[in-house]
Each structure stands twice: as C-alpha cells, then as structure tokens.
Structure 1
Amino acid sequence: MDPATLTATLRRLALEAGDRIMEIYGAEDFEVRAKSDDSPVTAADEAADALIFAGLRAAFPDIPVVTEEQADSHSLDAARFLIVDPLDGTKEFVQRRGDFTVNIALVENGVPVRGVVYAPARGRLFYTDADGRAVEEDGPFDPATPGALRPLAVRKPDNAALIVVASKSHRDAATDAYIARYAVADFTSAGSSLKFCLVAAGEADLYPRLGRTMEWDTAAGHAVLAGAGGRVVRFDDHAPLRYGKPGYENPFFIAYAPGVTLMDPA
C-alpha cells in the first residue's frame, strides 16, 4: 500500500461522507432508530457507512474493513485492517450540537498507524500524512485537492495547570472524581473523537475516558494523536492501548501529552 495513496483515499472518503452527513443534518427532520445495544442510528450513519465502505473496498480490496454499522464485520480477526466509524457522536448529531465526526483508520499489529478525523459541522479536518505525522488542514475543503496544512504537535504540559478535555455526552461521577485529582487550570468539553484531536493540536493536555468505547470510536483519533507525539494508554495499568481485541471493545483509557504525570487508579 502506497502511503500517499492511503492518505489521499482516507481524506477523500471522509470529506465525501461528511458532505452526505451534512445534507441529512440540514434536513428539517430525520428518523432516529435504536440499535440492539440501544445506541441511536440515523440515515446519516448508514449513508456515510455505505459510501466509505464501498470506497475502501474499491481502493484496498485485500484489507479487511471493520465498521460500526456492519455487525458481521465485528468478528473479523486480522493483524492489518481498516476500521470505520462513519458518524461518531450520533447523539451530538441528533441534538444538532455539531461535535460529530467521520473516523477512518488503518491498524497494523494492534497499533493505529494512520487515521482521519473530520468534523464537518465544525469545519475541522485532522489526519496523518504519508509519513504518519499529524496535520490539520485549513478549509474550505476540496476532496480532490488538499488545502494548506498545519503540522500538529502536543503542547508541553504544566502539571500545576493542566487543560483537560472530557465528553459532552458521557460525563459521570467517576470521571469527575478522577479529573479532580489533577491540578486543572482549564476544562473543556467536546464530543466524539474531537477530544483526541484537541490534545493533538495542543489545545488540551489530558483526556481520560472512564466509560465504554469501541475501537472504531477511538482508532482514528488515536492515530492523529500519536502522529502529534501524544499517547493513549489503558486506565488500569497505563500500558499502551491496543487494537484488534475480541469484540473490538476498549477498556477505560487515558489520552495525554507526554509530560503529564498520570494518576494511578484510585
């Protein structure tokens, strides 16, 4: 697989899926259904999934694709695979809060090595370039031609004055209690995989997640953060978060800029 072709393909498919999502987002009304796990799904999830899946199969026919919206892909077992969340933050989408993203990543031997995160309602596009370095592209976006790129790098954290980012839709008492153990100078909320990207862009230092997530929720953001010099580790033992786990479910984790002194679980 040519790295430049991979980058261009993931970027293009994310932008095209984002355009389709925004068509539905702008509609006066759209149907919201509940999946078997009671999570919401909309026509936007399904349309974006169909577009991305078809594009990946056409471009990379030999690489398995795991996608949230296709349950039969959740039993795949491969050392190298593409993983997709066509609309991360469906609750944000339904409530028209804007913090939803398109996520596509390549995982190799348990590590997300390339990824794209596109927040169409926010006009922010993050991805790893052909060399695996994280960049943010300035809009307006043309699927065929990249615009100006800005390299991303995590900031040097001050443990006496950390900036913490956490979920808008999934905050709980355990997360708040853990965050309270740090010296926090500022706190921001964000939805979906944007939280990884805020750390990657130096806009936050720490993102703890003490709640259920799936690998398709995190792989693309993880790749972007790693490409900016950041890290993602398990909450329990601070070992690197790995991918390709049975069922594709994540443990609790912490995403952060190196230099943050991580607190052990209470």
Structure 2
Amino acid sequence: MSLLTEKQIAIAAVRRACALTSLVFNQLRQNETLTKDDESPVTVGDFGSQAVINTVLRHAFPDDPIVGEEDSAELRSDSTEAVRHRIVELVNRILTAPLQPGENEQWGFGPERGLSTDEVMDMIDRGNYNGGSTGRLWTLDPIDGTKGFLRGGQYAVCLALIIDSVVHLGVVGCPNLPLSASNPSGPRGCIFVAVKDQGAFQFSLDDPFNPETAVPLHLPAMSTPENSCILQSVGHTRLTVNDRVAQLLGWTMPPISMDSQAKYCSLSRGEGGVYLRLAGDLGYREKIWDHAPSAILIEEAGGVITDADGEPLNFGLGRSLENNYGIIAAGKDVHSRVLKAVKQVRAEGK
C-alpha cells in the first residue's frame, strides 16, 4: 500500500495549517483564547488549523471520517463572535493563498476557495467521529502543546491515517523546532513524515516536497548512560517517577522537558534516549491524536513504542487509549531496559 496520494495531501494540509498557526503565534491577541473543559488554553489557531485540515480532507477523501480534538459548540455562541470572525478570516486567508509546489487546487486551495462562517464551523465539526476498529479514519491534533504555543515554546500540528486500527501514515509539523539539533539557534520549521514500511523522514516546513531537503530518520537502537536522557512533557507526567527510572538506568543527564509531539520528533532524530510519559492522573485517558501521528514515526525510524506494560498501543478503541498507564518510546535495546525500570518503579509504588 503506497499511500502516495494520502501522503502528499497530508503534507500539504499540515503545511497550510502550520502557516495559519504561525500567523496566530506571531499576532496572538488576548481575546483569542477560550477555555476547554480541562482548563488548558486553546487558541484561534486550534480551531483554524482543524478547519483547514478538515477542509482539505473533505475535498480529497470525502468518505473518510475524522477524529479531531476540537468542536465548534462554544464558537457558535454570541459571546465568541469576535473569535469566530477571526477564525474565519484566517482560514480563508490560508485556503485562498496561491498554490505552492506540490499542491493541487482540487484539495480545496485557491483564490475562489473561501468559506462562509457556517462552512468553517461545519469543517471544524467534521472531526467529531468517535473512532473505531475497522476501516479508514484520520485523527488530528490541530495544535498539540497549546501551553507551549502560548508561551512561545514548542507545539505541533499532527495528522495520522489509521486503517483497521493500525497507523499507516503520520505527518507532524513543528514550526518552532530547529532544523538541526546541533544548531538550536539556526533555522526553524520542520515537518516529519512516516509511511508504514517506507521509512521516516524530516523535511523543511518551507519546502516539504523537495527530496533534497529529506533527512532519513534513524533512532539509535543502543545508547550509553553518558549520552542518554528522558524526553518528557511539561507538567503532564509523573516527573518523580521519571527521575527514579533515570536513576535505575544510570542516566545522569538532565531530562529534556518539551511540549507536544515535538518530543517524539526530537527522539526520532536521535535526541535524548527515551520518551517517557507515565500517567500522573490515573483517571486520565490518553487521546489517540496525541500519539498516533508520532507512533508510526518512531516505528519507521527503527524504534519501539508501547504502553507501560510493554503492549502495543491500540488505536481502534475509540477516541482514547483505554486502560493505559503510560507511553514508552525508544530504540529497541533502550526500550527493553526502560520497560524493565518502569515495571520496577511501579512495583515500588512510586
């Protein structure tokens, strides 16, 4: 299954969505923030990004359902008229921009492709599918890492194609991630692409269809304590447990704390040693859009990703990863050692 068309369309959609989020990032207005049920901030970029990507998928694959993070319920109220207007303005600015290399007007791009307010709201709500174990579906996180986005840190636009519960395609756009880990103050803007059985690659976000910018990704199978550390979320994981895991592994380097699936992307190109996310709230259920786009990236880069029991992640259970204590992603040899350490820490009751 080549999925060449799906890959091209997904890259184009994520790149356009990243253009929108970058506009919001650079021109963030105080009244462009709402509050979600979990009390984390969500911005105009979230809704606009989802509308852009869902519009592209509607044109290209009208029969494919989408599991997205956002819905337009709050946006349809009178109290959010200014926010709603700003979203529609940005979505149309992005969709009607001239075609870029690798794009096709049949995907919903071009000067005549503007949408009405109701159409933009409907595009957002195309992400309301509840998921399932059979058939094709897309899952989308329009801005993963909204807190990082708001404070000027890392965030990502993440899209995956799941077929019969298995991720076959993942595209992750990271507008603020340096192109080279060895040059953190250098050019920024990466897009990471992985297709099942076809490898994983990093491209420049500015030119993702140019094969000359493609960097093959290979996650080292082994590591040494001197050059290994834990990649972890900012405030969404049990950090004391992570410290104990690092101690058991003999790792002395400080952890790298970063928002969003940019952690997975950094790991896929050899940074750190393991992405470890252990549940801080035992009642919390990981969402499939938070991991599916990057799960295939890790696997196609030669790594292993499982839950904290060492079992494969199941993306066919709906919108959430049920009965999941945490996530471990690492090179093959590293993963087995981290899994052993995690099980020991859990046995200790940490």
TM-score between both structures, scaled by the size of structure 2: 0.69
Pairs within 5 Å for 1:1-266: 3-30=3-30, 31-70=32-71, 73-79=128-134, 80-97=136-153, 99-122=154-177, 123-129=189-195, 132-138=198-204, 141-142=206-207, 147-158=212-223, 160-161=225-226, 162-171=228-237, 172-186=239-253, 187-211=255-279, 212=284, 213-235=286-308, 237-249=309-321, 251=324, 252-260=326-334, 261=337, 262-263=339-340, 264=343, 265-266=346-347
For 2:327, give the aligned amino acid.
Answer: F
Deviations 1:231-265 (A, max 9, x none): 11110x21111112244245211111100112223
Aligned equivalents of 2:216 and 2:210: distance in 1?
18
8 Å contact kept, 2:314–2:321: no
Task: Tell me how far 1:144 sits from its aligned partner.
Answer: 6.2
8 Å contact kept, 1:74–1:248: no
Distance 1:149 1:4, change over 3 A: same
Moved more, 99-108 or 242-251: 242-251
Moved more, 254-263 or 69-78: 69-78
Aligned equivalents of 1:18 and 1:147: distance in 2?
21
Distance 1:131 1:58, change over 3 A: farther
Q: Secondary structure at the match of 2:248?
A: coil
Deviations 1:25-69 (A, max 9, x none): 111524221112323211000000000011112111222111011
8 Å contact kept, 2:147–2:259: no
Question: What 5-or-longer segments of structure 1 have no aligned partner?
Answer: none
Q: Secondary structure at the match of 2:198?
A: coil
Structure number having the greater helix percentage: 2
8 Å contact kept, 2:174–2:190: yes
Q: Count the aligned residue pairs.
A: 263
Aligned-pair identity in percent equals 29
Deviations 1:136-194 (A, max 9, x none): 1135x136656510110111323544332111232433333333322214332222001
8 Å contact kept, 2:196–2:300: no
Distance 1:207 1:2, change over 3 A: closer
8 Å contact kept, 1:129–1:135: no
8 Å contact kept, 2:67–2:319: no
Distance 1:143 1:134, change over 3 A: closer
Distance 1:117 1:28, change over 3 A: closer
**Off by >4 Å, runs of 4+ in structure 1:** 143-147
Q: Which residue of 1 aligns with 2:184?
A: none
Structure number having the greater strand percentage: 1
For 2:331, give the aligned amino acid.
Answer: A
1 or 2 for the larger relative contact order (CA 8 Å, sep ≥6)?
Answer: 1
Task: Tell me how far 1:81 sits from its aligned partner.
Answer: 1.1
8 Å contact kept, 1:199–1:230: no
For 2:313, give the aligned amino acid.
Answer: L
Aligned residues: CA RMSD = 2.2
8 Å contact kept, 1:152–1:200: yes
- Tell which structure's C-alpha radius of gyration is larger: 2
